[in-house]
Amino acid sequence: DQAREAYRPVFIISDFAADSEEWDYSLQARLESALSEDRISIKLQPQVAMNDGTIVGVEALARWVDVERGEIPPSRFILQCERVGRLDELTKRILGKSLDAMADMARAGQNPRMSVNVSAIQFVDSRIAELIEKSLATHSADARQLTIEVTETARIEDFSAARDVFEQIGRLGVRLSIDDFGVASANLEALYELPFDELKIDQMFVQNMHRSQTARAIVSNVIRLAREAKLVSVAEGIEDKETFELLRNLGCDIGQGYHIARPMVLSGLQEILDLQRDHPMLRHQT
């Protein structure tokens, strides 16, 4: 046994797996078939105007329920997609489903904006701009109804390379939002260098507002920064009424979080949109 232990082969971990705890081959096979069988879906989370609670937008969040492993969190499968060069493929499918949902809602006279997440590293080449342009065309969708939330801006090393791609997307009429603002050191540089329309305050700060003076100071100043830079401010991760009120008093434009609504399937969202239309007073009850 000791001898066998001594001769146990040592694998040289290749570059792409070097940053991971483990390389999960079976997850990779499952992801591949989930993509090809189109089994990754979306849930939609409402975004409301802070002044009157009207649903003005929805964020599409990717969901994957594997038959054996159950629900796999997006943080996990998005990283996996990235490692195997499948992020654009995932985006294509999520975008397609989001634009389908937008068309369904439009047919019912419902017109919230749609936000779709795209990782910053996807902006280093112009394939993402072409993908967005093509999706809008195949769905005959109004580009101005679409917002791209750019996540993980800390990972862009060369903003000058990304700038062209951002501008290309902006020229389509699509709005650009900087997601999770405040968590990454490159956030301010990204904000300064790239043509954003909207700023989403990271939920870590929002969730700590009720107990931390520092969190409140950060959020308050980020909202002011957004206002002065003529960006729409969005707070995510609002979990209680107290936080909602604090944000409203600070002049935050748009809110999102479990206190308002969880991510939901399209039919559930459509029911709420109908309720709001028929009973405008419901808006104030957020």
Site string for Mg ion, 116-135 (x = CB under 5 A): -x------------------
Site string for ligand C2E, 205-234 (x = CB under 6 A): ------------------------------
- Does position 73 bind ligand C2E by CB under 6 A? yes
Q: Report residue 90 CA to chain centroid gap.
A: 13
- Does position 253 bind ligand C2E by CB under 6 A? no
Q: How far is the CB of 82 from ligand C2E (least distance, A)?
A: 9
Please pick, from the candidates 48, 56, 58, 62, the single residue that binds ligand C2E as defined by CB under 6 A. Answer: 62
Task: Find tokens 């701009």 and name the residue.
Answer: 129
In the complex with ligand C2E, the residue whose CB is nearer, 79 or 277, is 79
- Does position 75 bind ligand C2E by CB under 6 A? yes
- Does position 255 bind ligand C2E by CB under 6 A? no
Q: How far is the CB of 36 from ligand C2E (least distance, A)?
A: 17
Both structure tokens of 20: 């991971």
- Does position 91 bind Mg ion by CB under 5 A? no
Q: How far apart are CA 173 and CA 183, in angstroms?
A: 28
Per CB under 6 A, the segment of 64-72, 130-138, 223-231, 253-261 that binds ligand C2E is 253-261
Please pick, from the candidates 102, 112, 149, 201, the single residue that binds Mg ion as defined by CB under 5 A. Answer: 149
- Does position 85 bind ligand C2E by CB under 6 A? no
Sign of CA dihedral 84, 61, 209, 50: positive
Q: How far is the CB of 191 from ligand C2E (least distance, A)?
A: 16
- Does position 152 bind Mg ion by CB under 5 A? no
Task: Give residues 94-113 in contact with ligand C2E (rule: CB under 6 A).
Answer: 94
3-state secondary structure the chain: CHHHHHCCCCCCCCHHHCCCCCCCHHHHHHHHHHHHCCCCEEEEEEEEECCCCCEEEEEEEEEEEECCCEEECHHHHHHHHHHCCCHHHHHHHHHHHHHHHHHHHHHCCCCCEEEEEEEHHHHHCCHHHHHHHHHHHHCCCCHHHEEEEEECHHHCCCHHHHHHHHHHHHHCCCEEEEEEECCCCCHHHHHHHCCCCEEEECHHHHHCCCCCHHHHHHHHHHHHHHHHCCCEEEECCCCCHHHHHHHHHCCCCEECCCCCCCCECHHHHHHHHHHHHHCHHHHHHC
- Does position 16 bind ligand C2E by CB under 6 A? no
Q: How far is the CB of 11 from ligand C2E (least distance, A)?
A: 30
Among 50, 79, 48, residue whose Cα is nearest residue 273: 48
Please pick, from the candidates 34, 35, 58, 78, the single residue that binds ligand C2E as defined by CB under 6 A. Answer: 78
Q: How far is the CB of 10 from ligand C2E (least distance, A)?
A: 35
Please pick, from the candidates 179, 194, 246, 266, the single residue that binds Mg ion as defined by CB under 5 A. Answer: 179
Task: Find tokens 């990283």 and name the residue.
Answer: 79
Residues of this chain that interact with ligand C2E (CB under 6 A) are 45, 61-62, 73-75, 78, 94, 117-119, 149, 151, 179-180, 203, 236-239, 256-258, 263
